[in-house]
Amino acid sequence: DAGITQSPRHKVTETGTPVTLRCHQTENHRYMYWYRQDPGHGLRLIHYSYGVKDTDKGEVSDGYSVSRSKTEDFLLTLESATSSQTSVYFCAIRTRETEAFFGQGTRLTVV
Amino acid sequence: TQLLEQSPQFLSIQEGENLTVYCNSSSVFSSLQWYRQEPGEGPVLLVTVVTGGEVKKLKRLTFQFGDARKDSSLHITAAQPGDTGLYLCAGTNGQNFVFGPGTRLSVLP
């Protein structure tokens, strides 16, 4: 079974501070995704990666950057956190052509 | 931009009742998936439908893909409290998954 670990699981940070969320997979799946989930909006794609150092923007990428220096790790960075970035963040991997496997999420609160 | 709409947004029913939730789009998708998400967890895949008109059954859950591959439905027979959760549909087309906003189902004992 595919394994994904997101860290941290919970974080409270102050407005204007940088924050990095980590997603680690135990297999070598090519595609990795970062989503945010907010009430009434479902899951919205922030950024995705299709290989080491290969990333692209999703529909809500403003204020976020990503990096993928190794196949197993996909990092999401909020350069200067804002209250509008308070959300639950999910990492996912594409285990098959038509299947996304999700991590347990990171609850981020920006105060 | 491909969008998926789901209805109803919320549904509260008694144990034993039947229900259907819907997923609609103006775009054609190569496949649609249904996920269930419980509080504090990530979504978990229930099923993928690929062929227009396809019907798949998973115990008390029946999934159907529209003939034009733009819509899908999920029917639950004799709902149980364990079916409570957020049901999300998602479409794949190319590299990404597009998710609907979800239907939040509550099954009361």
Longest alpha-carbon distance in chain B: 42
Please indicate if any CB of chain A lies within 8 Å of the CB of B97: yes
Dig out the tokens for B91 from the structure: 């479409």
Question: What pLDDT is attached to residue B58?
Answer: 94
Average pLDDT over residues B77-105: 93
Question: What pLDDT is attached to residue B100?
Answer: 93
**Phi and psi dihedrals of B61, rounded to 5?**
-105, 130
Instruction: Give residue-wise pLDDT tens across range B3-48.
Output: 899 999 999 999 999 999 999 998 888 889 999 999 899 999 999 9
Question: What pLDDT is attached to residue A1?
Answer: 55
A99–B48 CB contact, under 8 Å: yes
* Ordered mean pLDDT values, 10 residues apiece, chain A (111 residues): 88 97 95 93 93 94 97 97 97 90 96 96
Please indicate if any CB of chain A lies within 8 Å of the CB of B31: yes
Using a pLDDT cut of 90, give the percent of chain B over it: 83
Please indicate if any CB of chain A lies within 8 Å of the CB of B100: yes
B41–A105 CB contact, under 8 Å: yes
B40–A104 CB contact, under 8 Å: yes
A100–B88 CB contact, under 8 Å: no
Question: What pLDDT is attached to residue A42?
Answer: 85
Would the pLDDT of B72 be above 80? Answer: yes
3-state secondary structure string across chain A: CCCEEEECCEEEECCCCCEEEEEEECCCCCCEEEEEEECCCEEEEEEEEEECCEEEECCCCCCEEEEEEECCEEEEEECCCCHHHCEEEEEEEEEECCEEEECCCEEEEEC
Average pLDDT over residues B89-98: 88
Chain A residues whose beta carbon lies within 8 Å of the beta carbon of residue B43:
43, 90, 100, 102
Question: What pLDDT is attached to residue A97?
Answer: 80
B95–A50 CB contact, under 8 Å: yes
Would the pLDDT of B1 be above 70? Answer: no
- In terms of CA atoms, which chain A residue is nearest residue B29? A98
Which one of A35, A98, A102 has the shortest CB-CB distance to B50?
A: A98
